[in-house]
Amino acid sequence: MWKIRDLKKKARGTFKRNYVGIVITCFIAAVVMGSFINPLKEVRTIKDTYFDQLNGTVLFAENHNSDMSNTEVVDNFLGKSGEESERAQHWTRGVLSVFAKNTEGAGNFVYGVLNSINQIVFNDRVSAGVTIAIGSLIYLLIAILFTKVLLIGLYRYLLEIRVYTGTRISRILFPWSVKKALHIAWVMFVRSVYSLLWCLTIVGGFIKIYSYKLVPMIIAENPELSAKEAIKLSEDMMKGYKWRAFLIDLSFIGWDILNILTLQILGVFFLEPYKRMTTVELYMTLREKAKERDIENADRLCDKLLESEVTSGIYPINEYFITVPKGKKWILEDYERDYGLSSLILIFFTFAMIGWLWEVLLFLFTRGEFINRGTSHGPWLPIYGVGGTVVLIVLKKFRNKPWLTFLLSMVLCGVIEYFTSLILEKVQGMRWWDYSGYFMNFQGRICLEGLAVFALGGCAAVYLVAPSLDHLFCKIPMKIKKIICVVLVVLFVVDMAYSAFVPNIGEGITDNDVARIEIKKSDVLIASDFLLI
């Protein structure tokens, strides 16, 4: 018969060998799962969703008899005052400012987003009760489809790292990597329903907590098992061991008290990871016993790679008994290609013209008038061309990592936009754009909202637009392509030289909210400055 102290000793050994990785993954899981589950506690009873406790207003009806807007009713429902902080009062422009102000007002991300959509799309006409109901449903779906699935990913990581000390933290995404996330979500949902129903009995809930204790580890090992099979297997494996599992939990009571005294700090850096690893060791011990007893479906626990000796390597994914289906290739163009000089020149002008067309049409639809945007007079906005081509050239070795390309595109475009604005103000004495009032802006020269759009545009340029354009440009005879490039470059240089002395200014171009700075006449033209504009 195995002893509790031996089982916990094995857990401590694994924890000691892989302390940093285990603490980080357990912390990530705790934060993510807690962030989505805890807000459910803020949602009051169904009765309260029909009547606002503050003024008796029926929330599912329009608030005709109340001075509060639907958004303010939601904020009060969540126990928030809805008052803006001094910081939020400066967020007056942009879509992200609306989201940020509502999130801070509600003190809740999901309800902040719902309030923002209500204001932007529906002009705050959606009643507060509908917003609250939708928010509650979203939290329920997140809990079912994500948080419980992430728990399986955590246990998969812990199962692997007890043997393979080189296991990467990314293995916490195991359910999604094997394309079994929806099935796992269903299994965990069924387990939760069973547990809830047993809790309606006097002692059944307490017993079944331990009967179903091994389901997450079982599914982490073999995600192809059905909910019925996993639950039945857990019950059979725990038969005769539920009391000992209870004693294991009881053995941590001293640590639990100490955790309270340390304001939960001990739990983050030691206790919770220690408990998780002990549960994993309990599973592996009972897994071995189940095979010895030849219980039903014990042969389905067939990942023999988890039984290996401790090694410094990583889990050999290619030897996993489940074949992972290949994902669909969404990008058909060869985005890792090299671009010739002529193609880069044409791509630069294409991006610059697309940027000009985008801003002109934006003002045409919002103001109903044609406004030639930019510092120059030609049909191009060079900052778009520079941003697109720089992303193509500088980030070439990161193209196989889209998420990194996105982040680096944001940084590069931010640097280009910031210094372009700075140079223009120093040389020409005025600003062509100003982000003051936008959420997370810096000196009014750049803002998070704009950088996010530029980063998305950079990714679109790298993976879709530039490869397609290059494919098209390669069909143009080289002689004709060179002529086109020369003509465009000459026109561009002439325009930049003329615009240096006679910049494009006026209403809709330089009429920013900041105080005007008188145009300074510059005797010297720094051509390199204006090639970036």
Per residue in 219-270, pLDDT tens? 999 999 999 999 999 999 999 999 999 999 999 999 999 999 998 899 999 9
Tell whether 229 is covered by a domain: yes
Supply 183's token pair: 């099935």
CA of 527: how far to CAs of 27, 423, 491, 501, in Å?
53, 12, 15, 12
Tell whether 481 is covered by a domain: yes
- Check whether residue 284 and residue 401 sit in a common domain: no
533 CB contacts (<8 Å, ≥6 apart)?
Answer: 375, 376, 382, 383, 420, 423, 424, 496
Tell whether 272 is covered by a domain: yes
* pLDDT surpasses 70 at 58: no
468 CB contacts (<8 Å, ≥6 apart)?
Answer: 333
Separation of alpha carbons 120 and 124, rounded Å = 8
Q: Which residue has the higher pLDDT, 85 or 21?
A: 21
* pLDDT surpasses 90 at 449: no
* pLDDT surpasses 80 at 65: no
* Range in 21-30, 259-268, 431-440 the model is least confident about: 431-440
Task: Report which of 232, 238, 144 is spatially closest to residue 184, judged by C-alpha positions.
Answer: 144
Domain enclosing residue 34, as ranges: 4-39+141-319
441 phi/psi in degrees, rounded to 5: -100, 155
- Check whether residue 448 and residue 393 sit in a common domain: yes
Tell whether 285 is covered by a domain: yes
Q: Which residue has the tokens 């606002």?
A: 52
> Do residues 84 and 105 lie in contact, with contact meaning Cβ atoms separated by under 8 Å?
yes
Overall average pLDDT of the 488-501 stretch: 92
Separation of alpha carbons 306 and 298, rounded Å = 15
Tell whether 443 is covered by a domain: yes
For the full predicted model, state whether its pTM sits above 0.85: no
Q: Which residue has the higher pLDDT, 99 or 209?
A: 209
* Range in 127-141, 183-197, 399-413, 494-508 the model is least confident about: 127-141
Burial of 159 (0-12, 13-18, 19+ CB in 10 A): buried
* pLDDT surpasses 80 at 24: yes
Q: Centre a 10 Å sphere on the Cβ of residue 470 and count the other Cβ atoms it contains.
A: 21
* pLDDT surpasses 60 at 453: yes
Residue where one domain finishes, among candidates 319, 351, 385: 319
- Check whether residue 258 and residue 365 sit in a common domain: no
pLDDT in tens, 319-362: 898 887 666 665 556 888 889 999 999 999 999 999 999 888 88
pLDDT in tens, 122-136: 777 777 777 777 877
Q: CA gyration radius for the chain?
A: 30
- Check whether residue 172 and residue 271 sit in a common domain: yes
Tell whether 279 is covered by a domain: yes
93 phi/psi in degrees, rounded to 5: -135, 150
Across the chain, what does the average pLDDT equal? 82
**Pair type for strands 446-447 and 441-442:** antiparallel
- Check whether residue 303 and residue 365 sit in a common domain: no
Q: Which residue has the higher pLDDT, 93 or 174?
A: 174
* pLDDT surpasses 80 at 467: yes
* pLDDT surpasses 90 at 90: no
- Check whether residue 522 and residue 461 sit in a common domain: yes
- Check whether residue 441 and residue 489 sit in a common domain: yes
DSSP class per residue in 376-434: SSSS--HHHHHHHHHHHHHTGGGTT-HHHHHHHHHHHHHHHHHHHHHHHHHHHSS-S--
162 CB contacts (<8 Å, ≥6 apart)?
Answer: 14, 277, 280, 281, 284, 306, 310
- Name the β-bridge partners of 442: 446
Separation of alpha carbons 212 and 230, rounded Å = 9
The pLDDT, as a whole number, for residue 110 is 72
The pLDDT, as a whole number, for residue 80 is 58
- Check whether residue 262 and residue 308 sit in a common domain: yes
Tell whether 145 is covered by a domain: yes
Report DSSP state, residue 170.
Answer: G
- Check whether residue 302 and residue 361 sit in a common domain: no
**What is the number of domains present in the chain?**
2
- Check whether residue 147 and residue 263 sit in a common domain: yes
Tell whether 276 is covered by a domain: yes
